[in-house]
Amino acid sequence: MTTSKGRGAPKAGFGNGGEIHQTAVAPDARITTNHGVPVSDNQNSLKAGRRGPTLLEDFVLREKIQHFDHERIPERIVHARGSAAHGYFELTESLSDFTSAKILTEVGAKTELFTRFSTVAGGAGSVDTPRDVRGFAVKFYTKEGNWDLVGNNIPVFFIQDAIKFPDLIHAVKMEADRGYPQAASAHDTFWDFIGLMPEATHMIMWAMSDRTIPRSLRMMEGFGVNTFRLLNDKDEATLVKFHWRPKLGTQSTCWDEAVKIAGADPDYHRRDLHEAIAAGNFPEWEFGVQLLSQKQADALPFDILDATKLIPEELVPIRFIGRMVLNRNPDNFFAETEQVAFLPTNMPPGIDVSEDPLLQGRLFSYQDTQLSRLGTVNFHQIPINKAKGCPFQNQQRDGQMQTQVFTGRANYEPNSLGEAGEDSGPHEDPKGGFRTFALPMEETKIRLRSESFADHYSQARLFFQSQTDIERAHIASAFVFELSKVVIEHVRLQILANLRNVDEALAKRVADGMNLDLPKASAPAVQPKAMKASPALRIVGKYPGTLKGRAVGILVSDGADGALIDAVRTAVEGEGGTIKIVAPKIGGVTLKGGARLKADGQLAGTPSVLFDAVAIVLSETGCEALLTEAAAIDFVRDAFGHLKAIGFSPEAKPLLDKSGVVVDAGVVTLGAKADAFMKPARTRQWGREPDVRSLA
């Protein structure tokens, strides 16, 4: 009998039972297309010159991205977990000097829109609060056709060329052999890829910052990421970056808080957005642009065609020209949120693309993805995708799921089957139709990255050194957490070697956090340059001084003082915040004096991680009963550990003591007007953090 020990590894080909067995790929094997053609360059798409647009003839790029786009059906490959809302855009300042697009020139006009927020790495059934980039996609139903501004809550991206996108997502998704982790980047394949792609360093600094654990979808910034062009009536071009700035301010959670929210309410962000809109607290964002001429762009110390770079606001200020208001929840999640299809190729006349090689690949990939996911070339006829501000009309016919009934004989253009032999049907519009910028090109076709893309560390250093000390500690701690989940040691060391090019102190903090010696710094293609710090890149210290849009939880018991509860409610709701009553049992409590108070949540299922600040209003007997209740102790302890303000009635002090709460500026006794509580409740108590948490 032949034992398994004596057998060789199965070879490629047909084995027993006709099954196909394939061995592991040899370490020195060369990459080929799916049809066996060897690939000479797997890092760069084929462009018309070093900084020119990507060419359609690049079959290596097309095959790689097309195969990637069709890998999963029907869920989105990325951005599968999404939440959305209807609303409108209102222009407040015209850009008529720069563009002919009516949506950017007609002041006061309101344009209907649909906005979808999403996580990137997880599947549709994953949780809302992992450390992850968030998608920020807006579909404007303009008078000149749909405009899809498809971006993220971070202004830069991991890679410079779209040909690397399948590799990036393969690396960050669940590991191929074991199917985990889900919706997480703390694993070997992701960090192996990042360590070998220095161009991702700037983005990974943002990913390790608090930007990727947002408090709410309503409190995220949005960015178009890529560089676009505006064209005016004279076909003069202006380069542009698009920005969304939340009126509620940009706010994030603590990492421990985000983890616990995932367990307490996996739909936390989705619920928060839906409930805010349902209550009439409509989220709002300012819409801004950074405008610059080609000459100004050429003078910058980086290439704006490089999606791993941002333009600091101190160099080119953001000009705010409009606002977005989300005022209606979807009627049906599948029909709208799930079936909406965003395409970067959807642009009205007056807006155009740049030669950014990441954007150039997106122009192909998004359309191709929708064909796979929605199963038909007619996905534009689904109501949520249909052009509403103007009719759509052309000679395209038939196809799967065709819902329109066309009349007439002619389905081609030009034709002469109209009255009196005249051409019948829609025509091209040379004057008012979409125009492409006339970019001069006289270069050799080439697969090569422009030298102007070679600086991978200067802006990563700029980002880190622009942060407050609090945010730097959070970034370092995030690296420690993520890399501590990495099993393969050389992967951790490669990241540390790259971090030495960003900031020596950061690399040392991360190494110390893992009890590792610092490796030799990796050799950068271009030595990092010092750049002036950009305070605009911070979050801490920029929150609005109000509780508007935020939530305060009040833990109550039988016999609690209703006057104190009313004082907190009046103060919080007076600033536009919301109150949630948390009781030991969902039926509520009987207050001192006999009045009944309805509960919004039961203590065991409504922890303090769901609130921005908490108040503890108990009676003596109520407090005594909660001293042996773990959920009550965790409610208070977590609020303190997550740096939240705590207001308390004198009778609740024993519960605070048992929870390890030390009275500080953010822990105050509740009074008749709750004024002392309101001041710390408007922000985090950052000064408390060193006393409750070890950071790198």
What is the rounded distance in angstroms from the CA atom of residue 241 to the CA atom of residue 289? 6
Tokens 């909660």, residue? 626
Quote the CA–CA distance of 359 and 352 in Å, as a whole number: 11
Give the phi and the psi of residue 476 in degrees, each rounded to 5: -60, -45
The C-alpha atoms of residue 116 and residue 112 are separated, in whole angstroms, by 14
Residue 400 corresponds to which tokens in the numbers above? 């799967």
Token duo for residue 177: 């052999």
Which residue is catalytic, options 79, 187, 202, 456? Answer: 79
- Provide the terminal-to-terminal Cα distance of the chain, rounded to the nearest Å: 58
3-state secondary structure 280-319: CCCCEEEEEEEEECHHHHHHCCCCCCCCCCCCCCCCCCCE
Q: What are phi and psi of 650, to 5 degrees?
A: -55, -35
- Annotate 396-414 with b (16+ C-beta within 10 A) or e (fewer): eeeeeeeeeeeeeeeeeee
Helix axes 504-514, 469-484, angle to 10 degrees: 50
- Is residue 70 annotated as part of the catalytic site, yes or no? no
Q: What's the one-letter identity of residue 483?
A: L
- Token couple for 38: 């060897």
For the record, the structure tokens of 342 come out as: 């965003």
609: region left, alpha or beta (phi > 0 left; psi from -120 to 50 alpha): alpha
Long-range contacts of 34-42 (CB under 8 A, 24+ apart): 34/63, 34/67, 40/447, 41/447, 41/448, 42/163
427 assigned to active site: no
Classify the C-alpha dihedral 91-95-99-105 as positive or negative: positive
In the numeric block, the tokens 């971006």 are attached to 151
Please report the beta strands in 143-247, taking only residues with DSSP state E, as ranges in sequence order: 145-152, 222-223, 228-231, 237-246
- Identify whether the C-beta of residue 46 lies closer than 8 Å to the C-beta of residue 80: no
Residue type, 542: K
d(C-alpha 668, C-alpha 615), whole Å: 9
Catalytic residue among 35, 44, 146, 152: 152
Give me the active site residues, please.
79, 152
